[in-house]
Each structure stands twice: as structure tokens, then as C-alpha cells.
Amino acid sequence: MATVAKRVQKHRMNLRKSGLRPVQIWVPDTRKKGFAKECRRQSAMLKNDPHEKEILELYGKIASRDGWTA
């Protein structure tokens, strides 16, 4: 086994010993053609949605902005 592969294996083994496990997360590819257009489309669908307005108001009340800069 190559030296780098051994180090990676050892590192992963130590992480597992400390109670961690690997997790794979799939996220949208923001580089994909049409991504921005689809974001705009979905946002436009929510523009006048009363439930969306209610949720955003709730988030505004409960979100901590401590330490944020303008």
C-alpha cells in the first residue's frame, strides 16, 4: 500500500476510534447550466406565498444575528 494511502487509512481509523463515521452528502451542482435560472424560478414561485412569508417572519424572530456585520 502506498504511503499516502496508509496515512489516510490510519487517519480514518483514528476518527472511527474517536466515535466518528464518514457520511457522504450530495448537494446541487451550482456550476451546472441552468442552475441559476432554476433558483430564480423557484424563488419566484414563493414570492407571494403567504406560508413562505410566515416562515420568513418566524425565522427573523428566532434567528440570532449576534456578531453579524452589515
Res. 1: pLDDT tops 70: no
Residue 31 and residue 37: Cα distance in Å, rounded? 12
Res. 68: pLDDT tops 90: no
pTM (2 d.p.) = 0.52
- What pLDDT was estimated at residue 67? 81
Domain spans in the chain, listed from the N-terminal domain onward: 32-63
Set of cell numbers at residue 56:
420568513
- pLDDT tens-digit profile of 19-67? 999 999 999 999 999 999 999 999 999 998 999 999 999 998 898 888 8
- pLDDT tens-digit profile of 13-27? 999 999 999 999 999
